Amino acid sequence: MSTGAVPGIRISVVVPCFNEGEVIGAFHTALTAALEKTGEHFEVCYVDDGSTDDTLENLRALAASSPQVRYTSFSRNFGKEAAMLAGLRMSQGAAVALMDADLQHPPELLHRMLELHRHGYDQVVAQRDRAGEGILRTAVSRVYYRAVRHFMDVGLVDGAGDFRLLSRRAVDSLLLLPESNRFSKGLFCWIGFDTVHFTYQNVQRAAGRSKWGGRRLLEYGIDGLLAFNTRPLRLAIHAGLWLFLSALAYALWIAGAAVLNGVDTPGYATLIVAVVALSGIQLVTVGVIGEYVGRIYHESKRRPHYVVRETERMAAAGSIARFPAPTTRTARS
Ligand code: UDP
Ligand code: MG
């Protein structure tokens, strides 16, 4: 639940981490250096998204050595969206920055973001250019954003990701949105408020591997298209209507030709084409409807977004049982 701002803390930095053991130390050093330069009172909220490497051990050590570090660790991998939500819920600052742990979001930019925030902007978005990215990925992203802008009710900006600074009221508005299927890029647009973008040069990740393969990106893309509106359903209605009208015109034409030229027996090619085209459209439509029904089913279960294994408070209170390294067991019930 929303904790609201705690007086004194000016800025909270929320960092979702999944298997970032290799880079988290370097990231933390760079981040604290940048934050100390701003001269503001700060806290860092790490969220360990069920990492299987030594990320959690690193976070424990960081939290033990600095009171400004807090962390939440999930019982398994729940995805970046859930991790960001947990981080936003933890945050207590008057402004909250969201950052990746792989140093792709340069901490030095925080200074500029705070500056813009002081000018009254509720959302300050650092928008990366696509330098150093594959031609194919850039091209696919361009087409995707164009399609999304065309189909969706909220406008997404290419390169504007999760690296942003939010005011407390923007964070509180985000936390009021209860959906399980979270598509943050859309949610950020949906809440509105005064937003400013500035561009920075894309940086490659410092170490470790990206968790976004082609397939995961595709799924994310479909989520984005479907999560925000019911336009695909409207599209199905339009397609059906146009097909019906063209079928009607074609039927009239056949009837007319039969009257004028006598009954002819045209090949079955037209029939096959019509049947195949129609079944294709029907299948797509059923798929689209099914996707929405699936989402309703998912939302109606009202499950929590994540399960917490441990937090820095539990660690400090010594209430964490020291089991051997976690293993996955398959239980049959
Ligand atoms: N991340 C996460 N859970 C996941 C996948 C990623 O918390 O299931 C975190 C990851 O640790 C990183 C950020 O989200 O801090 C961005 O991930 P990544 O660098 O893999 O994505 P990319 O930069 O390639 O888009
Ligand atoms: Mg990255």
Q: Which ligand is nearest to the CA of 51?
A: 1
Counts of helices then strands in the chain (DSSP H, E): 11, 8
CB 312 within 8 A of CB 63: yes
Using the atom order of ligand 1, give the atom closest to the CA of residue 78: 8
Global pTM? Answer: 0.75
Token pair of 311, please? Answer: 């937090």
Query: In the chain, what are the helix, strand and coil shares in percent, each to the nearest 5?
Result: 50, 15, 35
294 conformational bin, left if phi > 0, alpha if psi -120 to 50, beta if neither = alpha
List pLDDT tens digits, range 132-184. 677 887 888 788 778 777 776 666 776 677 899 999 999 999 999 988 888 88
Shortest CA distance to 200 belongs to which of 109, 97, 330, 293? Answer: 109
Report the residue among 80, 128, 133 best suited for mutation to probe ligand 1: largest number of ligand atoms under 8 A from its CB. Answer: 80
List pLDDT tens digits, range 191-207. 989 989 888 887 777 66
List pLDDT tens digits, range 44-87. 999 999 999 999 999 999 998 999 999 999 999 998 999 999 99
Q: The tokens 């399609």 sit on which residue?
A: 147
Contacts of 19 (CB under 8 A, 6+ apart): 51, 52, 53, 55, 208, 211
Token pair of 321, please? Answer: 């049982």
Report the residue among 13, 46, 102, 305 best suited for mutation to probe ligand 1: largest number of ligand atoms under 8 A from its CB. Answer: 102
List pLDDT tens digits, range 299-325. 888 889 999 999 888 877 876 655 555
